[in-house]
Structure 1
Amino acid sequence: MKLKHPYKFGKGYEKPVAYFSMEFAIDQPLKIYSGGLGFLAGSHMRSAYDLKQNVIGIGILWKYGYYDQTRKHNNEMDALWQERHYNFLEDTGIVLEVTIDNHPVKVKVFYLPPEVFGTAPIFLLSTDHPENDHLAHTITHKLYDNNIATRIAQYVVLGIGGAKLLEVLGHEVDLYHFNEAHALPAAFRLLEKLGSLDELKQKLVFTTHTPVKAGNEVNDPNLLHKLGFFNGFTIKDIEDLVGFENGMFNHTLAALRMSKIANAVSKKHCEVSRDMWGGFEDVCDIIPITNAQNKAYWVDDEIEKAYQKKNDKKFLKRKLEMKKTLFELVADQTGKIFDPNVLTIVWARRFAGYKRADLIARDAERFERLLNNKKYPVQIIWAGKPYPLDHGAVSTFNWLVHFTRKFHNATILTGYELGLSALMKKGSDVWLNNPRIPLEASGTSGMTAAMNGSLNFSTNDGWILEFGEHGKNGFVIPEVDTSLPEGEQDRHDAEHMMQILEEEIVPMYYDDKAAWTTMNYQSMEDVEKYFRAARMADEYYKKLYNL
């Protein structure tokens, strides 16, 4: 197969780039993503196509995806791993070979043509090959497999397999762009060809997403070497090249030492990353390129038209229609019929401890008063997929299942993927986001909510620091002193959240619709200015690629 881009490259976007990512959230049918990292990569590939950029994506075809979020008999969460088969992917006939644990592993290559979903060309790698043994087959079964050896093998397939694919295609690229450090083995494949770290650095750029040092993966170099992660280089070679931390290989630190330049995913995250890695020698510059989302994919055309004409009547009418569509799904999943005329708050994203899904219900009596207010009724919907072995996050999900059972106007949905995400953004009035500061590197769900006439209500973290103006385009919880114990921080944020809801958000929604729609228009205008993926994809070229 010879790769041919289906379009003439736009001015300034001619430099060929290969974008490596463990996950891509392209469209609902293609289940090869878990959350924000994938949503970002999917929007990037769509905007690369829109702008006619010389980019290709390289990822993995996960046979069982991340997982399907289902329910047990008592409505608690369950995880289902189901085989996926896609008739829109082309089998290229290309078979690569990578070495894992001193065994040859065959890698099949599938192609997602740009015209299927409107993306840059994307290649997906799979170890589902008849000549592989069972263990090799399992490498590309589950995204973020909980077995450490399997996960390292996944990195080898993505990195070395992806690098070999470019060679087989004869597709010379000027830059490898790693979305997180998963594809690092590609750097060692390149190093073998180029011969020096200085030359390698000219070929690599890196996007880091994690704002906590403990969240950056660290592994035993002996295990990595045994599994083929270093592409044949000795442990001593690697230590001389990028150094070890207390005898361990730090994936992010290695990527920062081997790249020409790196980007953080918001301005605040850039400050945090520079503080985190600034004390280490030989780390490349880290610049901010704030995450963004592809507007054409996410926005509802009718709400956009009403906003453009500032037609309040049509805007509110369309919002009601979108709420009704969401509430049909709510009724189908939960047996609860919601009212489109009632203020609807949505909390929906990956369930993780620092995102604090249950913060609004921290004071149960106050929460009940909010829900049971006859004059100003409120509805609330949760959704989100925890990592299935994150028992704390699963426990929070299940607690909400039981907690909301007694309320006619509160519930929790399963299956938070692209389709449900879009429905919830279009059908919400308020998009609630309350991560513990400063742990949200960027966050993007609120961007696409704003595009669809939902007002952000958030702690002042991630992208909100660059967007949120309290009372003008949304609502921002005052910043807490982060030196306080976590329990005190939670108490502060919960108290201010409820106060803003009771005194500002709820009364405005019911008593001053003109002010509400004006704020929505401002929110839509402000999100348009800077948080469209076209700006992000353009900045990748201007600030990372064309150096």
Structure 2
Amino acid sequence: MSFNNFTVPYPAEQPYTKRVAYFSMEFAIHQPLKIYSGGLGFLAGSHMRSAYELRQNLVGVGILWKYGYYDQERHQDQTLDVAWNEKQYSFLEDTGIRFQINVHDHPVWIKVYYLNPETFKTAPMFLLSTDVPENDYVSQTITHRLYDANVATKVAQFILLGVGGAKLMDIIGFNPELYHLNEAHGLSAAFYLYNKFKNLDDVRKRLVFTTHTPEEAGNEKHDIYLCHKMSYFCGLSVDEVRKLTGIYDDAFNHSLVALRFAKIANGVSALHGVVAREMWSKYPGVCPIISITNSQNYRYWADKQLYRFREAGDDYGIDDRKKYLKKRAFEIVADQTGKLFNPDVFTIVWARRFAGYKRAGMLTTDEKRFEKLLTNSKYPVQIIWAGKPYPVDHPAISEFNQLVHLSKKYKNVAVLIGYELALSKRLKQAADCWLNNPRVPREASGTSGMTAAMNGAVNFSTDDGWIPEFINHGHNGFVVPKGDYANMTVHEQDQYDLDKLYEILENEILPLYYDNYATWRLVMKNSMQDVRFQFESNRMAHEYYDQLYK
């Protein structure tokens, strides 16, 4: 296949003819392609699938990570072990394209791989690698680990994605009308474009930006002199960069500059849009921030059989199917932990990236209530935890390990490893209740509950991210009513949420499931229906063209 004057290999549909290059550090496309860590990747993967389904004129630009994010394994005592295993991909096409960019004033070779749209039904994707013999070892390591803990390596990764991706678009002649940055990791593309067009207006009309981080501390900042030394600014001096970006201290804030260089940006839920506008309003020169709520791809995620029974009004079929899905997922639980879970028992699943604000072990912090919950013979429960902490986030790893130790006390508690796309889908099928309890308002969107609902799990969540747009309490899910969080300390907020979680679980959810299953099933069916179109990524991919790219 020739990559000269590249065009997407299918005719673009009328509303979607504008050429767009979508830059992301991670894409969760399919289980065999391990180039993702968490929600950002899951979102990007669903976006690429919908771009294909809607026949949009869009290409994905990412990085081929040699060791992925990491492989989650166990020590002898079942606690978390981090392993780095090389990945092999026979389904990626070597484009034959090789080119150089400068990193640290030093030419680095880039090799380009192509993911054909027909392989996993996605938009065409280009993945960059520096793991080639022409590079010295340090340059090869740029594409070894997603979100490398070494700061210089991380900045080099940002340069590879941004400058490398933008240069590739020139080499293949795709000539994007818009460059869409999914998070600010690829912002160096803007400096490449500035170098090319020599003025900021030409950059601005071509750049759009999606921000995913609802708090300032979470936005990447690096020393401006380090970025300069690493060739991040494509030859501009620090003084020129300051003049151009309005950054006058020494911390180069990637998100802030992205908001100043883009013509328009978006938050990833209605609530996040509000939070983001408020958060960035104190900075001059920031572009308008709209909201486009994250969504997930129905075709990839949903259990179609459940939906068929729902459409046919076959309640027996729904119950039978859900029980089968639970039973099948519980084989994984048994295989990993030696515990036999019962498909007739109410099953709570908490599974997502382990991060402090997501409060994985929240239910366990009240030991008496937790003990009572797990030993209740009238309303028995089973709980599964899974998720990958960042490999050097020691508090998160410690929380994971505490849950592992706690689970040894109970037959009905399991902690699983290997939380990636395949296990994610199985755990959503295993769940009666998908538990989500981030500290409000720190979850920008959080999309795992969408795909849970597509597999017959009922959401139970604090009122954050996409949840305010979705849950109608008792109708299609359950939600902790917002407290006066602004006037609470973190400890008070945690205590308030914990009390509410237990109240709703003990007094509403469990009695409904065991004493009035017909109504529980109705809640499940409402949830499946409400998530189907409103939180399906075709709606989202359409809105990107309609609102962000127009």
In the superposition, the TM-score normalised over structure 2's length comes to 0.98
Partner in structure 1 of residue 447 of structure 2: 444
Partner in structure 2 of residue 24 of structure 1: 27
Partner in structure 2 of residue 504 of structure 1: 508
* Alpha-carbon distance in structure 2 between the residues aligned to 1:129 and 1:410: 45
* Alpha-carbon distance in structure 1 between the residues aligned to 2:280 and 2:99: 36
RMSD: 0.8
* Alpha-carbon distance in structure 1 between the residues aligned to 2:122 and 2:52: 5
Gaps of 5+ in 2: none
Partner in structure 1 of residue 474 of structure 2: 471
Partner in structure 2 of residue 454 of structure 1: 457
Partner in structure 2 of residue 317 of structure 1: 320
* Alpha-carbon distance in structure 1 between the residues aligned to 2:254 and 2:31: 31
| 1:538 paired to 2:542 | yes
Aligned partner of 1:182 among 179, 182, 185: 185
* Alpha-carbon distance in structure 1 between the residues aligned to 2:196 and 2:116: 29
| 1:72 paired to 2:63 | no
Post-superposition Cα deviations, 1:333-356, rounded to whole Å, max 9, x if no partner, equal 000000000000000000000000
* Alpha-carbon distance in structure 2 between the residues aligned to 1:488 and 1:246: 35
| 1:366 paired to 2:379 | no
AA paired with 1:314? G
AA paired with 1:250? N
Partner in structure 1 of residue 85 of structure 2: 82
| 1:376 paired to 2:379 | yes
Question: How far did residue 246 of structure 1 move?
Answer: 2.8
* Alpha-carbon distance in structure 1 between the residues aligned to 2:43 and 2:329: 24
Question: How far did residue 306 of structure 1 move?
Answer: 1.1
Partner in structure 2 of residue 224 of structure 1: 227
* Alpha-carbon distance in structure 2 between the residues aligned to 1:131 and 1:39: 33
AA paired with 1:315? I
Aligned partner of 2:489 among 455, 464, 485: 485
SS at match of 2:353: coil
AA paired with 2:445? S
Post-superposition Cα deviations, 1:116-150, rounded to whole Å, max 9, x if no partner, equal 00000000000011110000000000000000000
Matches within 5 A, 1:412-423: 412-423=415-426
Question: How far did residue 194 of structure 1 move?
Answer: 1.3
Matches within 5 A, 1:104-253: 104-244=107-247, 246-253=249-256
Question: How far did residue 4 of structure 1 move?
Answer: 3.5
Partner in structure 1 of residue 525 of structure 2: 521
Question: How far did residue 180 of structure 1 move?
Answer: 0.4
SS at match of 1:64: coil
Partner in structure 1 of residue 305 of structure 2: 302
Query: Are residues 532 and 221 of structure 1, via their aligned partners in 2, closer, same or farther at CA, if it must alter by over 3 Å?
Result: same
Question: How far did residue 38 of structure 1 move?
Answer: 0.2
Matches within 5 A, 1:36-115: 36-115=39-118
Post-superposition Cα deviations, 1:369-427, rounded to whole Å, max 9, x if no partner, equal 11111111100000000001000000000000001111010110000000000001111
AA paired with 2:72? Q
SS at match of 1:12: helix
SS at match of 2:162: helix
Question: How far did residue 245 of structure 1 move?
Answer: 5.0
Question: How far did residue 214 of structure 1 move?
Answer: 0.7
Aligned partner of 1:495 among 495, 499, 505: 499
Gaps of 5+ in 1: none
AA paired with 2:167? K
Post-superposition Cα deviations, 1:512-543, rounded to whole Å, max 9, x if no partner, equal 11101111111111112310000100000000
SS at match of 1:28: coil
SS at match of 1:83: coil
